[in-house]
Chain A
């Protein structure tokens, strides 16, 4: 418990639309809100470093969607910056961000954010476990003609 805001926004941003929207709908919450910024599709430019430690260069863009909402009740503001082009996902992420600052925090954290964290960990673990099974040991062979 007690995730910081950057963490919960990260899990919301990287989740799949179906996971996030499914989990949100399962909470039964349906708060009234207004858009401070309507959902908007755009990009960010990803950057990397030469050799991972050197000079920064532009690696290409990634599609993202953003919006900002304000809850009617309590006037809390939430931001939904998410990967991909789903306006629905962006809106739900913004709602979750606002609700995480409200008295609904425990519910949102346990029913959505922690679940997204687990889904992400499972996805990563699966790749690591499959990769582990392809771990290889190469042997260099001594050829006959090298023997003295």
Chain B
């Protein structure tokens, strides 16, 4: 049991004032603006929005500034702020076919209709430090190409035409899709609830889980059927007037994996799918999410579990949330004097009994 302490007010105040001073850093260096963070650290913003589970680039930038670049602390600030806001309702399901794509690639079909767009990617860079950036070098603006239309059918549709991949169908019970921000997460979770948990899970945790499935802890042999990043409109029904408007435009990353599946007692051999959907440009996490989603589906596909961590939904869903994790892990540094005193007494007593027994 945790017994509260009090006091230390002046020390705490001073610690926080020092924190603010340290955050500002050397006054000879220009103060970092929220706009600079928003426009130049956009992949940090993406992580904070995805794991904070609130799409708002300006707030994410502010949180990163306030947290001195500690992204988990920034996510904590966003989660805390979100709880103060009323929810006006639930948006219509996003249709990613309509994405304005910055990037769209497939590792399974090289000549897919619409083509492959690399977008602003780190792939194929040589990972050499660019010392020009140290010297304040100016960067040329990227010249756009010719006018073009985009109409991208999902890659999995091509496999669908042959009937050799499972199809994703709507479920009649979807109105009851639970929302873990409203009801505590309960196990067993259906796939919709698992995906909600995964999309706000810690990127590093999901990456480790996904990697473990590739290395053999829960066999998983996926290809990236399609990975796309871009802008998408979100429709919402305005209650006062009773029809949908496009209330927002957000950036998302989407990944669909195609997994080999030799069939089970209940399902014939065919390709199966994993799905990743994440706020912002977050492709590492979208790919990881799709791998972990697929690993967690063993039961519904009639597979035999290897007992691997990534196939254990309680393990994955209860440990992926970095705010819950950091809260519990870090709380042990806070004063526990009474608890410790009790343990100290206990150990002294046991030792005394043991010594006396030896002497006896």
Contact = CB atoms under 8 A, between A and B. Distances in A.
Interface residues on A, range: 35 or more
A13 interface: yes
A125 to B, nearest CB: 7
B94 interface: yes
Given A47-B93, A49-B168, A62-B234, A13 B248 contact: yes
Interface in B140-186: 142-150, 154, 156, 167-171, 174, 177, 179-181
A50 B150 contact: no
B76 interface: no
Interface string A1-37: 0000110011001100000000000000000000000
Contacts of B279: 59-60
A62 B55 contact: yes
B360 interface: no
A58 B273 CA distance: 19
Interface in B39-93: 49-50, 53-56, 58-59, 82, 85-93
A82 B270 CA distance: 44
Given A53-B169, A63-B59, A134 B199 contact: no
Contacts of A81: 88, 236, 238, 245, 247
A8 B177 CA distance: 32
B195 interface: yes
A124 to B, nearest CB: 5
B335 interface: no
A10 B53 contact: no
Contacts of B117: 131-132, 134-136
Contacts of A14: 233, 246-249
A48 B168 CA distance: 12
Contact of A46 (B94, B142, B230): B94
Contacts of A64: 88, 236, 247-248
Dominant SS among interface residues on chain B:
mixed
A49 B110 CA distance: 26
Contacts of B119: 131, 134
A102 interface: no
Contact of A84 (B56, B146, B244, B246): B56
Interface residues of B, number: 87
Nearest to A61: B54
A79 B190 CA distance: 37
B150 A60 contact: no
Contact of A55 (B96, B192, B230, B238): B192
Contacts of A84: 56, 58
B146 A129 contact: yes
Nearest to A13: B247
Given A137-B110, A140-B110, 12 more contacts: A50-B275, A51-B156, A52-B168, A55-B177, A62-B248, A68-B240, A83-B248, A84-B58, A125-B147, A127-B102, A127-B231, A133-B145
22 contacts: A10-B245, A14-B249, A43-B82, A43-B88, A44-B87, A46-B250, A47-B91, A49-B93, A50-B192, A51-B273, A54-B168, A54-B275, A58-B177, A59-B94, A60-B200, A81-B245, A83-B247, A85-B59, A130-B102, A130-B144, A134-B118, A138-B110
